[in-house]
Structure 1
Amino acid sequence: MTSYSSTLLKLLDERGYIHQLTDAAAFDALAAREPVSAYIGFDATASSLHVGSLVQIMMLRRLQQSGHRPIVLMGGGTTKVGDPSGKDESRKLLTEEQINANIAGIRRVFERFLTFGDGPNDAMMVNNADWLDRLEYIPFLRDVGRHFTINRMLTFDSVRLRLDREQPLTFLEFNYMILQAYDFLELSRRAGCRAQMGGSDQWGNIVNGIELGRRVDGAELFGVTTPLITTADGAKMGKTAQGAVWLDEQLLSPYDYWQFWRNTQDADVGRFLRLFTDVPVDEVARLEALPGAEINQAKIVLATEATAMLHGRDAAQKAEQAAAETFAGRGASADLPTLRTGGSIAVLSALTGLGFCASNGEAKRKIAEGAVKLDDQAVSDPALQISIGDAPVKLSLGKKKHGLLVR
């Protein structure tokens, strides 16, 4: 672990957020000397963010906890272009109305993690459409485009990997890295922003912005990236068989969010407690050292604390209680995910409707494996039609997935 003098970098380092830093000594000295404004950009491609964006959200939270000012940059302009990083094909283009609706939904997520306002370290949300939509093409090419070479742009992973796979890269997308660099320049001018943070795949784009700020304004800017968050088995964190783990209760219930964290692998518990909760690091060290089956207590703390941060303490405690009641075999809790059936439903439809299985074929395989239960009784017939009366019926897949079927 590197020795830093600023509260910010000490916190980021001890909790595992730092992958790369530009001029670490100078940024550390700046953060120790005065409040720093730093930003992360988020494109508005959906009505909510998912857990894959959570490490970036938490970076902004750590920034604010350290007395600095987080800037949430919404890509109202860049969403119209599409970031080619990590993509094999062009992103679907959205209308301005769809983008604005998505930004409104995403802001509700950030309000759970950050304090917005007018104070010196209160978070602010800005939209790059405010300046990108007003750019004039020829002046932009002359003033900004001349600082970028095609030679270098072709070496960037976001471009090179697409070309290596012989996937088309449109001129529209090719401009993305220039627009992102220009965002950093504008935020430096408008908000005194000194640093850009992001995932490791954004390193090249961040460095572009730093160099543009130096060449055009003589500004001293900095960059910080986080490591790619993978699980102990090498999978990308947040990817599940049921799809994205959304940060909006309309898209994923607090109970299902709690269960996502509860299902963390033993080897990941300590790291995820540091990254995704405010549990003190000395307590994390104690929890991750619990022996044998006691590590499940650490997983419950992780699930409850992560859920409380997003959905509130009451929802987190209800989810924890619902899980305890279910796993203890004391019946079905009303806080489990629920599927309305109209009084009757096929077991295959119930399994896919609750999101336990991605297809009828997968549901049939799970039944054949003996993994499906109705009110704790094994189901063996994939053609079973379930009748629901006044009382709900509990449907289970394995030991950890449970839902209610109601009339």
Structure 2
Amino acid sequence: MINIPDNISQHDNVFDVLKERGFVEQVTDEDAVRDLLSREKIRFYIGFDPTADCLHVGHFMQIIILSYMLKYGHTPVALIGGGTGMIGDPSGRTDMRKLMDTETIDYNCAQFKKLFDRFLPFDDECQYVGNGGVFVPGHLTKEPDPGKAISVNNGKWLRNLNFVEFMRTIGKDFNVNTMLRSEAFKQRMARENGLSFFEFGYMLMQGYDFYVMARDFNVQMEFGGNDQWSNIIAGINLTKKEINKDVYGMTFSLLTNSEGKKMGKTGKGALWLSADRTSPYEFYQYWRNVGDLDVNKCLRMLTFLPMDEVERLSSLQGSEINKAKEVLAYEVTKMVHGEEEAEKAQEAARSAFGGAADSDNIPTEEMKRSEFAGEGKGLGTILKELGLASSNSDARRTIEQGGVTIDGEKITDKDFAVREDMIGEEGILIRKGKKKVVRLKMK
């Protein structure tokens, strides 16, 4: 469970805390939202579409925000998109999401809930029941326990909708011209194959989510990443038109580096929150290796260190900034994987940096023995498959520039091949630069 210390901030309004930490990007009415969060303990929600069977570090940002709101007495609703996931959000995308069958979506939803349970306390007896379509509201079976979150799946009200009924009741409240000006659709429309009607309907579904949440859950706010602004506004407008209720929206900065690129991508893909997808060591190393200019932002958003400590650490100069990166990597890894795994990862990283090759915690990858038979397997191919290089050209360039060692020996021949007789029982240690190391064994 995430536990935010009492000394996280001198502010007593969570809006000011979130703003201080650099989260707040856009607010529908800042003065009204600050006042609301000061006067009342509200219910609010964040949506999570189950596009995979695991949460990644982008989701973790939202989990941290849920945790802050819970800390200050508000009730989070984690909305899992068993309904919206049937289409997939086109926001920020230039391609159509891969369609998943219902069984896959339901499995992914269940996996999301398991991960949520690692970080937040839920009142699982508080369930949503009774929705019978557009005109038949549902309700919660009980008031949620104080200090606990609620989890709900929007498939409960989206999957049983009648299309004609939905379009007559909800579709009439959406203006197509306004929708087409939305950032959510611009990139898709610029592509050769354009924007499908299938994707175009996503905004109606997410807007309807907010309306149902406001009507049946008494939710007063929706939060989301900055790319969700148009969808949130759609829900606010729909709720006002249908039930004349004022609700609010707030979006948060996406986790980007100093160059504006999304963080959380590795050579192997996304930075996942499950240890079987991204090992604690790999997770730790990602944060240990962030750019110097990104340290302050990551410490503010991904740790619960007091702001004066954040400023002290991120102001370190030269090689001293590495101390701040170690603190960052340890704190984030501890939050995601626990203190024991964070300590193991830190020990393994220090061992690797020091040149030791015997740490049990250095990540190990296995490849089939047959791949190394005869003339062996190209080192460039190995680097790419291990996630130590992004492409074949990146691998060749790194080798030629002297950035790769095998068991401490620098390799500069781009055509170098690793043979079976080179790999002993303990494997070989392949390093890229000073910060990435993998033990390779045969199976």
TM value normalised by structure 2: 0.87
Cα deviation digits, residues 335-362 of structure 1 (max 9, x gap): 1111124557433443233211234443
Cα deviation digits, residues 78-133 of structure 1 (max 9, x gap): 11112111111221110111001111222233223322224223112111100001
Quote the residue 2:46 is aligned against. Answer: 40
Q: Which moved more, 1:357-366 or 1:71-80?
A: 357-366
**Structure 2 unaligned blocks of 5 or more:** 1-9, 124-143
Quote the residue 2:436 is aligned against. Answer: 401
Give, as a single letter, the amino acid of the residue that structure 2 aligns with 1:131. Answer: W
Shift of 1:5: 7.7
Quote the residue 2:384 is aligned against. Answer: 352
| 8 Å contact kept, 1:18–1:226 | yes
Q: Which moved more, 1:358-367 or 1:6-15?
A: 358-367
Corresponding residue SS for 1:290: coil
Give, as a single letter, the amino acid of the residue that structure 2 aligns with 1:253. Answer: S
Give, as a single letter, the amino acid of the residue that structure 2 aligns with 1:405. Answer: L
Q: Could you tell me which of 377, 384, 396 is aligned with 2:418?
A: 384
Please tell me whether residue 263 in structure 1 is matched to residue 297 in structure 2.
no
Cα distance change, pair 330–277 in 1 and its aligned pair in 2 (3 A): same
What CA distance in whole angstroms lies between the structure 1 residues aligned with 2:234 and 2:309? 39
Quote the residue 2:337 is aligned against. Answer: 311
Q: Could you tell me which of 237, 243, 251 is aligned with 1:217?
A: 243
What CA distance in whole angstroms lies between the structure 1 residues aligned with 2:106 and 2:100? 10
Quote the residue 1:87 is aligned against. Answer: 93
Q: Could you tell me which of 91, 97, 103 is aligned with 2:109?
A: 103
Cα deviation digits, residues 352-380 of structure 1 (max 9, x gap): 33211234443333222211111111124
Shift of 1:292: 2.1
What CA distance in whole angstroms lies between the structure 1 residues aligned with 2:90 and 2:122? 30
What CA distance in whole angstroms lies between the structure 2 residues aligned with 1:167 and 1:310? 40
Give, as a single letter, the amino acid of the residue that structure 2 aligns with 1:375. Answer: D
What CA distance in whole angstroms lies between the structure 2 residues aligned with 1:266 and 1:332? 29
Q: Which moved more, 1:173-182 or 1:139-148?
A: 139-148
Quote the residue 2:160 is aligned against. Answer: 134
Please tell me whether residue 119 in structure 1 is matched to residue 145 in structure 2.
yes
Cα distance change, pair 270–358 in 1 and its aligned pair in 2 (3 A): closer
Q: Could you tell me which of 259, 270, 278 is aligned with 1:233?
A: 259
| 8 Å contact kept, 1:182–1:209 | yes
Cα distance change, pair 114–291 in 1 and its aligned pair in 2 (3 A): same
What CA distance in whole angstroms lies between the structure 1 residues aligned with 2:280 and 2:196? 39
| 8 Å contact kept, 1:332–1:404 | no
What CA distance in whole angstroms lies between the structure 2 residues aligned with 1:271 and 1:389? 43
What CA distance in whole angstroms lies between the structure 2 residues aligned with 1:350 and 1:333? 21
Q: Could you tell me which of 360, 364, 387 is aligned with 2:396?
A: 364
**Structure 1 unaligned blocks of 5 or more:** none
What CA distance in whole angstroms lies between the structure 2 residues aligned with 1:275 and 1:92? 31
TM value normalised by structure 1: 0.94
Please tell me whether residue 280 in structure 1 is matched to residue 306 in structure 2.
yes
What CA distance in whole angstroms lies between the structure 1 residues aligned with 2:368 and 2:96? 41
Cα distance change, pair 161–365 in 1 and its aligned pair in 2 (3 A): closer
Corresponding residue SS for 1:389: coil
Quote the residue 2:178 is aligned against. Answer: 152
Q: Could you tell me which of 73, 79, 85 is aligned with 1:67?
A: 73
Shift of 1:328: 1.3
Cα deviation digits, residues 200-225 of structure 1 (max 9, x gap): 11111101111111111121211000
Quote the residue 1:338 is aligned against. Answer: 364
Q: How many residue pairs end up in the alignment?
A: 404
What CA distance in whole angstroms lies between the structure 1 residues aligned with 2:257 and 2:74? 30
What CA distance in whole angstroms lies between the structure 1 residues aligned with 2:254 and 2:412? 41
| 8 Å contact kept, 1:162–1:169 | yes
Shift of 1:6: 5.5
Query: How well do the aligned residues superpose, as a CA RMSD in angstroms?
Result: 1.9
Shift of 1:333: 1.4
Residue identity (%):
41
Cα deviation digits, residues 277-303 of structure 1 (max 9, x gap): 111212111111223211111100100
| 8 Å contact kept, 1:255–1:319 | yes
Give, as a single letter, the amino acid of the residue that structure 1 aligns with 2:65. Answer: M
